[in-house]
Amino acid sequence: MKIPLCVWIALLLAGCQSASTRPRPVVIMGPHEGDHLWSFHESKDELGSGGELQIFIDARTHPEATASFAKYALGVGGALPVHRHDKTEEFAYILSGEGAAVVVDDDGEEVEVPISAGYFWYNPPGAWHAVRNTGSTPLSLVFTTIPNEKKGLLAFFRRISVEPGREPVVLAPEDLERIASEHDMILRSSERQ
């Protein structure tokens, strides 16, 4: 039986602890477990170009963990805005689909790098980045963030997302920027103003 990459990563993250702490139990979750959320979806019945998030480990579910771990599927035509994190590192592995990793070069220009199944992507703190789905199917990836904080990236998605089947959260641009900045997510559009 082949064990999916996301299970191995979850097992690795569950074991992240300092030698001075009491051992914590190993966390093993099935493929349909975790918290399921939709963000930027078209309606309560249709994801459209929005994103489907499955949170396995974050500060809400496992506050003792040093990292968070989730799966994200970005709908066809979907995109996350160019942003950076001042304290957060992100590691992503593309499971399926086609897209573009958007990075900002030394001259401040946005550069699109094609990504597809099997690609790995690391975003250090302070690096501008985004992702776009350029394919005809959802762009699916697993990612981890370090540190695992109550006001971190997954807390941002929890704040702006809803359970599947519920009406989307509609935010004014200034509210989205404020909520994002409260969660170590600085939108590039707000930096340029």
The pLDDT tens digits along the chain (193 residues) read 555 655 555 555 555 554 456 677 899 999 999 999 999 999 999 988 999 999 999 999 999 999 999 999 999 999 999 999 999 999 999 999 999 999 999 999 999 999 999 999 999 999 999 999 999 999 999 999 999 899 999 999 999 999 999 999 899 999 999 999 999 999 997 555 4
Task: Please state the domain count of the chain.
Answer: 1
Sign (positive/negative) of CA torsion 149, 154, 159, 164?
negative
Is residue 25 a part of any domain in this protein? no
Is residue 22 a part of any domain in this protein? no
CATH number at residue 51: 2.60.120.10
Is residue 97 a part of any domain in this protein? yes
Is residue 174 a part of any domain in this protein? yes
Stated pTM of the model: 0.85
Task: Identify the residue whose tokens are 């480990």.
Answer: 57
Say if residues 120 and 92 touch (Cβ distance below 8 Å).
Answer: yes
- Say what the pLDDT of residue 62 is: 94
Is residue 23 a part of any domain in this protein? no
Q: Which two tokens stand for residue 81?
A: 């805005």
Q: Which two tokens stand for residue 138?
A: 């959802």
Instruction: Provide the H-helix boundaries in the chain.
Output: 5-14, 153-160, 173-182, 188-192
Is residue 28 a part of any domain in this protein? no
Three-point CA angle 109, 175, 108, nearest 5°: 10
Long-range Cβ contacts of 6-11 (<8 Å, 24+ apart): 6/56, 6/69, 6/71, 6/142, 9/69, 9/93, 9/142, 9/144, 10/56, 10/57, 10/69
- Say what the pLDDT of residue 54 is: 97
Is residue 74 a part of any domain in this protein? yes
Is residue 131 a part of any domain in this protein? yes
Q: How is the beta sheet containing 120-123 ordered, strand by strand?
A: 35-39, 51-57, 68-74, 139-146, 89-96, 120-123
In which domain, by residue range, is 147 found? 5-14+33-192
- Say what the pLDDT of residue 23 is: 76
- Say what the pLDDT of residue 193 is: 46
- Say what the pLDDT of residue 24 is: 78
Report the C-alpha gap between 44 and 135 in whole angstroms.
23
- Say what the pLDDT of residue 189 is: 79
